[in-house]
């Protein structure tokens, strides 16, 4: 039996995690729930699942992690506000099932230096796929990591054709049902750029050996290529309950958590190189990752600010990444402390607002 705390319990990851746990009461027990502001829903979840401890807000979530004993903390909070709970979970010695990629990306060495070997288990479908594929070989045998991307709603469009994209079009993702920021990030490939940084931090593979390929069917979730020319891929229908279940009990699998592929039906899987001219976010993310320090925090914060401005009608679609690049270019690194990261984010948001105000 594994005792679990779920952070971000009212979001998509948290709700699906509760479904997995409810279907496997002999393996998992929820002992704590945390949400942002939705007190009514988190209290209803606590009542339904017999949970005594709940928290509202990131600071309270960090206190919950410190004060309530558990085996696993699933961090499904959205955004860099999840950094403090991530650090609290690692300091408390909990296994961290990490769906909140932003906390690792903006925290960088703050997080990796604190984590023991195997303490962080990725829940993003791409990084869960890589973790599974890595079991097929030794670390020194890895040639490269290949992250797959659906291509989003604008696959095949040129940069010029993207200029007139509307907020409604940016939210029309063909595969996943996600929130406003993540769905927009998927369309711009900023989300994939963040995942490249995350892959580097999780698996220690250099940026020049991490690639992205466009795979519209979203069946192959990512791949690992080994030095002998073999490529190991993890394949399954799109369903986040599979990586969530692995995050809760890594490396053990939970029977029946997801539907298998139907090999009796003909299907075609396609792969295409990323169009860096139309979607330069991955290239910029690699540059930011190589710069390290507080640059990834600035990249993420400026993007969040620009995405909100886009959906408020204050800037155009292509202005999102142009704003991010301009903020990154003017950034002066801050000390790699929690306070330094938060200050870098604050300045990045101010810089982004100033640049977008000029427009």
Confidence bin at 357 (pLDDT 50/70/90): confident
Confidence bin at 176 (pLDDT 50/70/90): low
Q: Does residue 12 belong to any structural domain of this protein?
A: yes
The string of pLDDT tens digits covering residues 134-146 is: 999 999 999 999 9
The string of pLDDT tens digits covering residues 20-52 is: 999 999 999 999 999 998 999 999 999 999 999
Q: Which helix (H) or strand (E) holds 214?
A: strand 210-214
Confidence bin at 177 (pLDDT 50/70/90): low
How far apart, in whole angstroms, are the C-alpha atoms of residue 316 and residue 306?
10
Per-residue pLDDT, 175? 66
Q: Does residue 169 belong to any structural domain of this protein?
A: no
Mean pLDDT of 196-203: 98
Total residues found in the chain within this entry: 359
Q: Does residue 36 belong to any structural domain of this protein?
A: yes
Per-residue pLDDT, 316? 95
Q: What range defines the domain where residue 80 resides?
A: 2-122+240-249
For the chain, give the percent of residues with pLDDT over 70: 98
Place of tokens 């958590």: 257
Q: What is the mean pLDDT of the chain?
A: 95
Q: Does residue 204 belong to any structural domain of this protein?
A: no
The string of pLDDT tens digits covering residues 301-347 is: 999 999 999 999 999 999 999 999 999 999 999 899 999 999 999 99
pLDDT exceeds cutoff 50 at 121? yes
Place of tokens 């469009």: 157
Per-residue pLDDT, 359? 47
Q: Does residue 259 belong to any structural domain of this protein?
A: no
- Looking at the 3D structure of the chain, how many domains does it have? 1
- Strand pairing class (210-214; 272-273): antiparallel
Closest residue by Cα to residue 100 from 188, 17, 220? 17
Per-residue pLDDT, 172? 83
Per-residue pLDDT, 178? 67
The string of pLDDT tens digits covering residues 67-103 is: 999 999 999 998 889 999 999 999 999 999 999 999 9
- Residues 28/73, Cβ–Cβ less than 8 Å: no
The string of pLDDT tens digits covering residues 270-305 is: 999 999 999 999 999 999 999 999 999 999 999 999
Q: Does residue 267 belong to any structural domain of this protein?
A: no
Q: Does residue 196 belong to any structural domain of this protein?
A: no
* CATH number of the domain that residue 52 is part of: 3.40.50.720
Q: Does residue 17 belong to any structural domain of this protein?
A: yes
Per-residue pLDDT, 248? 98
Place of tokens 């886009």: 310
Q: Which helix (H) or strand (E) holds 349?
A: helix 338-358
């Amino acid at each position: 039996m594994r005792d679990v705390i779920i952070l971000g319990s009212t979001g998509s990851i948290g709700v699906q995690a509760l479904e997995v746990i409810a279907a496997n009461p002999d393996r998992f027990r929820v002992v704590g729930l945390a949400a942002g502001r939705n007190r009514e829903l988190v209290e209803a979840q606590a009542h339904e699942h017999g949970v005594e401890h709940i928290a509202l807000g990131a600071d309270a979530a960090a206190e919950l992690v410190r004060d309530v004993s558990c085996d696993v903390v699933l961090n499904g909070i959205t955004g860099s506000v999840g950094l403090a709970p991530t650090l609290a979970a690692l300091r408390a010695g909990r296994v961290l099932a990490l769906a909140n990629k932003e906390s690792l990306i903006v925290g960088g060495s703050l997080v990796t230096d604190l984590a023991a070997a195997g303490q962080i288990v990725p829940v993003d479908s791409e990084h869960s796929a890589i973790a599974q594929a890595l079991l097929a070989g030794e670390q020194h045998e890895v040639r490269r990591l290949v992250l797959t991307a659906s291509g989003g709603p604008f696959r095949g469009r040129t940069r010029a054709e993207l200029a007139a994209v509307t907020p409604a079009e940016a939210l029309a993702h063909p595969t996943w049902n996600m929130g406003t920021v993540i769905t927009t990030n998927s369309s711009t490939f900023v989300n994939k750029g963040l995942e490249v940084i995350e892959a580097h931090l999780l698996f220690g593979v250099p940026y020049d050996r991490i690639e992205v390929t466009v795979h519209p069917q979203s069946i192959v979730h990512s791949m690992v290529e080994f030095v002998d020319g073999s490529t190991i891929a993890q394949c399954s229908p799109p369903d986040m309950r599979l990586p969530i279940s692995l995050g809760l009990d890594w490396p053990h699998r939970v029977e029946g958590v997801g539907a298998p592929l139907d090999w009796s039906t003909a299907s075609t899987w396609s792969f295409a190189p990323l169009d860096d001219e139309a979607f330069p976010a991955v290239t910029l993310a690699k540059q930011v990752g190589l710069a390290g320090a507080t640059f990834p925090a600035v990249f993420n914060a400026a993007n969040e600010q620009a995405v909100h401005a886009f959906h408020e009608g204050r800037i155009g679609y292509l202005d999102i990444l142009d704003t991010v690049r301009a903020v990154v270019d003017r950034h002066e690194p801050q000390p790699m402390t929690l306070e330094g990261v938060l200050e870098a984010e604050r300045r990045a948001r101010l810089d982004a607002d100033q640049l977008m105000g000029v427009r």
